[in-house]
A = this chain, B = another copy of it.
């Protein structure tokens, strides 16, 4: 699957479109009809909503403005399946109530997808040359957008099923590796200095990765792998969740208000730690990277360990020479795996890494105009940057300069962290 295909022909893009659309539906195959509408918390949207929303995106930003004579599948869907675009004029159904709609039915949502698919392929084929550059750019955004929702589809399914005391698995057939011990953690040093980060002018990138710009870094070191379950368990067993000395003030308030005792999905059953995966409950593997934790927990661990988290500039500088490879959605594991080998690793794939950087504009950043400009810029407050992709990200969706962002308390994504140190 290649949303940024090398040949760049319309036929190549049409092919890409078909593959991205098919993967979304493939990911839904293990679901029961009953699972499609489920939303147990505001942030974890129902699968049905994701299926429809990514289609609405093409309809709104491509078909309506650029395909002459296009008629929307159902004009009322604009209101139901807009996520947060204030400027499209439709308004949007409240995020927290996406699970309160039994209609359109699942089958109707798949009909909607078919309707959009047909029109999109016609647009790709028939669009005149004048309009094509804008169509092509928006199509690439649309494909990347759908890939982001493929990741959310899986994280949201995990979250929504986890609420059920019957503990249903998304896929009962996933292979579970034998638990083991983590490899030793080593440190890798970097000189820092005046470095460049961000996406250059060429190629596809989101607006928030630009402009490429210079940053000065003091000498620093990074851990060569993610923090493991074994290491995080030592923090838990040292009373880490009960000692405010380690925590940010807002983090401690959250620990108390929500009764956190361990990362999300950890459960102590008969005195032994287990964790919920997309393949069901499993014993906690000490060697695996610790997963599903908030920025607050990552920061508290770092504080307890006398270290810090990397900034996004440190991370990007360190990752600049590393091959963009790892345990992505493409591996089919749907779960992080233990670090193996040597040298700095797990920078890409396995888990998104919390950085110590707030999600803010790069110097000289300007959000694009219009509703599509709401994609990234309007979230530049109160969130922290994560880097590197996860075991449920598509490899070809990622870039070295890719900036993900979440609120510091959020835990339901596949997130972990790596230690850093300024010398």
Contact = CB atoms under 8 A, between A and B. Distances in A.
Chain copies in the assembly? 4
A216 B194 contact: yes
Given A161-B102, A363-B422, A166 B34 contact: no
A168 interface: yes
A34 B363 contact: no
Given A165-B80, A216-B216, A360-B356, A379 B103 contact: no
Interface residues of A, number: 67
A308 interface: yes
B103 A166 contact: yes
Interface string A182-224: 0000000000001000000000000000000111111010000
A206 to B, nearest CB: 16
B308 A361 contact: yes
Interface string A76-98: 10011000101100000100010
A241 to B, nearest CB: 14
Contacts of A38: 37, 100, 102
Interface in A343-382: 356-358, 360-361, 363-364, 374, 378-382
Interface stretch (A3-11, A144-152, A244-252): A244-252
Interface string A290-307: 000001100100000000
Contact of A86 (B32, B244, B363): B244
Contacts of A23: none
Given A101-B164, A218-B364, A378-B248, A34 B37 contact: yes
A35 interface: yes
Given A33-B105, A35-B102, A382-B382, 6 more contacts: A32-B102, A103-B168, A213-B218, A249-B378, A250-B382, A358-B360
14 contacts: A33-B105, A34-B102, A37-B102, A80-B165, A84-B249, A100-B164, A101-B163, A101-B166, A103-B168, A214-B218, A248-B378, A249-B379, A251-B381, A296-B381
